[in-house]
Amino acid sequence: MRARRNPYVLYALSLPLILAVRYSGGGIFRWAFYNVLFFVAIPLLLARLFGFSGEEVGFRTGNRRGYRVAFILLMATVPLSIYGTTIPSMKDYYPIFSFSGPLDFAIKELAMGAIMLANEAFYRGILLMPLAGKNRWLAILAQDVPYTLAHIGKPGIEVPYSFVAGIVFSWLDLESGSFLPSFLLHWLGSAFFDVLCAFT
């Protein structure tokens, strides 16, 4: 079958799942469920049907260098996060959930972790890694454009920031062979910013 192990077909069939997530309703826990369903379960099944193993789409631990670089980048984003709290549109928008106290906040940050994991698995795993075997920079841009467009509707500064972040995350994960380093960088950075916006 010609489509077998064809990363372009896998990419094309996966793209509509972005709309499924974008227009899914409900609170944060329901949104986390839809993210895991449409960004992990279904695309991973598609990848397997087209002959790609879980490891080939980033479902593995990866090398230590990726985690070291992710930690350095996380530390580098701290000043940016602090500056971000001075931008009214950012502080008004985040966190994206309401909470009744520290415990409720922590539980909802775990739900955010599931959402971030699903996003990294999809953009930096399913969309990126099979294509990168054909053309590394084409793959980086091919996942970065829809990733950036998915940020439209959030505070305006996030659109160019997400474009740059998508390139950095892709490079990091391709070097590591796993989407986990960018997941940790994305989630921990996001959680830190939520804390700053909610409690300062």
Per-residue pLDDT at 111 exceeds 90: yes
**Interhelix angle 180-199/158-176, nearest 10 degrees:** 140
- Contact between 123 and 172 under an 8 Å Cβ cutoff? The reply is no
Q: What percent of the chain has pLDDT over 90?
A: 93
Q: What is the pLDDT of residue 2?
A: 54
Per-residue pLDDT at 89 exceeds 60: yes
Q: CA-CA distance, 189 to 67, in Å (whole number)?
A: 14
Q: What percent of the chain has pLDDT over 70?
A: 98
The contacts of residue 164 (CB under 8 Å, 6+ apart) are: none
Q: How much is the mean pLDDT over the chain? A: 94
Q: Provide mean pLDDT across the span 40-66.
A: 95
Per-residue pLDDT at 145 exceeds 60: yes
Q: What is the pLDDT of residue 1?
A: 47
Per-residue pLDDT at 49 exceeds 70: yes
168-177 pLDDT per residue, tens: 999 999 999 9
Q: Extract the tokens encoding 171.
A: 């490079």
Per-residue pLDDT at 140 exceeds 50: yes
Q: What is the pLDDT of residue 3?
A: 59
- Band the pLDDT of 25: cuts 50, 70, 90: confident
Q: CA-CA distance, 125 to 119, in Å (whole number)?
A: 9
Cα-based distances in Å from 162 to 9, 45, 121, 135:
25, 27, 16, 22
